[in-house]
Chain A
Amino acid sequence: MSSTSFSAQNSEPKKPKASTKPAGPKWHRVGHDLLVIAIMLVLLAVPFWLLIVTAGKTQAEALELNMSLPHKWMLFQNFATVIHDGRMIPAFFGSVIITLPAVLIAILFGSMASWILARRATKPVAFLYALGISGLILPPAVVTVMMLLKMIGLSGTAVGMICVYVGIYLSTVIFFVTGFIRTIPPSLEESMRVDGAKPARIFFSLILPLLSPTIATATILLILYIWNDVFYALFILSGKMDTLPLNLYNVASAGLYLNNWHLIFAYIILMSLPLLIIFALAQRKIISGITGGAVK
């Protein structure tokens, strides 16, 4: 860095900055940006580059894992292969029919319970609240859940899987929503009550809409957890139904795609697309939702 450019920097009038850091000289800024780029190259570009180039290779080429470009891009042929041979379409619909109802039911039931748990301040209710959020910390008993579903005839079905997810994630919803309702003044409900509205009406037309920011956060978290889950799905669905991660697990470990890195990686790209698209579209909202819900 030459001394002329340094002094030129200093002679510039200092602008007031809203940020918490002092406005450093320009070389500082450039150094920072180079550091950010270097970290991104090492931590993100390497694995994602490997993912994309390998997914575009032929089987022979993909056997030896490296960062070089494919001689001939086969990405879309590989996509076609995994969609066709990997039974990806039924797995996608399996994921959708399980994730959507599970999230909706957990949010609805959780919010209803949270309203009561937040407003009624008695000892028994406090105990119920503690019980309600215990699942946030304590792990579900996955083997006996499976046995229970067998006993009531729901094992291997979407309904059984939905019920298990609702049971696991209700705690998360109750935790987020109860905390949020406590910040809503109860006086808002009074005017409706004066007009003779019943609790159900007050809940659905007043409380539920007010909850939308925290419900948005909980929805994002639940979709992330449920869409990507493989552990519970392995036990509960036990091969009778497919979801995307379960299918990826099966094809990658069944030997069908053993060392077929190009197909595994093509599958991973396709499987990640739905959530990536949702994230790309609602990125700002998702980020503010998650941070807003967590640190209060």
Chain B
Amino acid sequence: MLARLRSLLRGLFRRDTVEAEMREEFRHHIELRAADLVREGSSPEEAQRRAHLEFGHAEGHRETARASRGLKRFDDLRFSWLDFKLGFRMLVRYPGLTLMGGVAMAMGIAFGAGLFEFVMQWSRPELPFAGGARLVGIEVRDTETGGVEPRILHDFARWKEDLRSVEELGAFRLAGRNLVTGDGPGEPVLVTEVSASAFRLVGAPPLHGRTLLEDDERANASPVVVIGHDLWQDRFGGRLDAVGTTIRLGGTQATVVGVMPEGFEFPHSQNIWTSLRFDPLEFAPGEGPAIYLFGRLAPGASLELAQAEIETLGFQAAAAYPETHAGLAPRVVPFPELVHMPAPGLFNPEFLFLNLFILALVVLLCANVALLLFARAATRESELVVRSALGAGRRRIVLQLFSEALVLGGVATVVGLMGAKYGYEWFLTAIEGAEGPLPFWFEPRISPTTVLYALGLTVVGAAVAGILPALKVTRGVAASLRESTAGGGGLRFGGVWTLVIVAQVALTMPLPAFTYFALDEMAGVSRLHVDIATENFLTARLELDRDLESIAPTDLFDPNNAFGGSGLESDSAFLARYASNLDELERRLLAEPAVRAVTLVDRLPLTYHPAHQVELDEGAIAPPDERGHRISTARIEPNYFEAFGVPILVGRGFDSEDVISGARVVIVDEPFVDRVLGGRNPIGLRLRYIAIERAPPPGPDAPWYEIVGVVGDLGMENGYGRGGVYHPVARGENYPASLVIHLSSDPTGFSTRLRTLGAEVDPTLRVESLTSLEDIANGEEGIYAWGVSAVVLLTFTALMLSLAGIYAVMSFAVSRRTREIGIRVALGAKPRSLLLAIFRRPLVQVGLGVLAGAYLLGMLSHWMFGGITLGQMLLVAVYALVMAGVCLLACVVPTRRALGVEPVTALRAEG
């Protein structure tokens, strides 16, 4: 055993020495034999010749010797440079196949790698600075509600002193402010008020000027800001004298002291920073601004250690301040989790499913390439037979075809990775366009891990595309050799290929249907029908600067905060100021000649609304599922419908009396009437809420509301469909409220005017998310367009490939029957019966595939969309016809050729 192992290892790792010794031994043998022959009377030349002849074929002996050392198995798995050279030659020789197969593999790899990169950046973010992995956040959760408690200024001050395992502890908060850099009304920005330690943590030197310092945090220091590169370019044209200029942030003047380099964003995607200046002594525990804490794990400290330490400090705080801290649990989390929703873990089912999907896609695409390569390999049968005869083993040939597929895959991978980079960039842009900015660690780059992943996909793809057909072909070759013919009928298209073709047709069947569905969905989104003429409406969210916002006015953080999603701690003085600002703004707006009407609402039409569950006292139809009737709500001012110019269809509208008296009356829309009441007249019926999204259930004492009117469909949308309830509210009850201005002309020109009017009313009144209703209606389309284009592109490739593969294999199968056709013609067969005989099998294969595909499609449609539409059915029928057409075409060309051949020639033909 030991001897064998030693001999094997020597053969593997000292191959050159072993080979040289073998050659030397053979030479020595032949020399001695030749000397003997000379002694027996031969001439030296004759002796040499005979000695060689007697010794036999040296390479053959060497081959046997290698096998007897157990090296053959390893040799068979060795790629030779020649295989790859041959692979490249094949790429050039069959440009059509190269293009078709290469594009298919590249698409699969691009799609897979791009998706993988996104998931990696989401679930395992790499922060782009030294020690990024040690950056942590500290969040405090309310154990009862599960929400985040952000009013932790007190804890911050204490932890700064006591916490040993986290160093450079800092805090930030986000505050919306109007930024005024010159003349004009300015624009709202999200300012990061942050501890100076942030800049030390990320180790980013400023491009110009300086970063924030601890001294800037003193109460009597003059306010300073540091701006990001993009802002510097936009607002200051990249001028060097930007440092030192004074700007205004809301009601505060501040000096620009530094400009950060390009790409620097912190903590999420912000690019303007000012000092966080709050004195913890001014606030009682559990009060103060909403802040977020971050720091770096101290040398030698782990996340677990830091967690243990912070828990201990949490217990101490709970003992010291039971009223405010009893139910609070502080946690140390990796920094990305603090500012971005955590991704599913790498091993959770969703992620595995995604990987399986990618793998299945690549395998499917490569199975098509396999069909093409098989057809090509089949035409090279003679070459393979000759190679076999020259002593190449089956494994050798399979390996050769595998390396050819690898070469194709390699080229495809390079192209695919480039495609992945651009596709990913496009994808990020689409997401940011639809969902707002992503955190700074999402970069359109392809990491080494993703490259490895892509290479793995390539090997899998090449194995599918190269090894499968190779195994099939080499089996045929063995048969050819046994029959002593070169390329004579050794290859048969047996049950396996029938299965492959049937599976191929079946699997591609649902693709067009799903594309159709995606397009339909897309059209649905872009056609979002509303009973409003959306052209002449300008909308904006109105916010007011406030020192103690309880939650950042963005979706950056978990909206499910300690305040039940209300967004703000109620403060009547603040809301009164807000309401009077709105009154003044409305007055000025209505004085503008272009303005027809102004109204306010908590959520705009065609945007997302939370879904609440309602019940009616009578008349409601059975809900679709156990989640009950999920409907949207909007809190509107009494003139809302008037401002939109939509009529009350049944019953009455709201008036100011409803607001003043606090009457519990509501108006519902038509989709609500259809969904919840099956079209019955709702006037006089009562409804109440039994579940409210992101809030504790209202319980049995929930108030009843009377339905007094019905309006058309104004685009109240939630994940469950249209349909909603309108509640009347007084001005100032919605914060932040969305403003809707009905103009007499195109709204885009009015934006600046609105900002100016807002600034005149109050410099701290911020006009956020200024957009026309038209753009809101079109806004959803970006991400859909991306998804749909990707799906269409992939589907198209898969279809083309599938058709090309089926065509190649079928036409090859028919052309193999040239001889048979010739003989039948010679024997007087009628062309019709001949055609039937030829076409029967391909048509049966495609027919089976179509049936299997239709069944698969039916199941999938039922499972995903609860049924199949007429449009989809038509599409499937058309596709089945196309398939049949391709199949016929594949058979016609070789059949015509075969029918035109003289029987004598046919008999000589291969096959």
Is the pairing of A and B real?
Answer: no
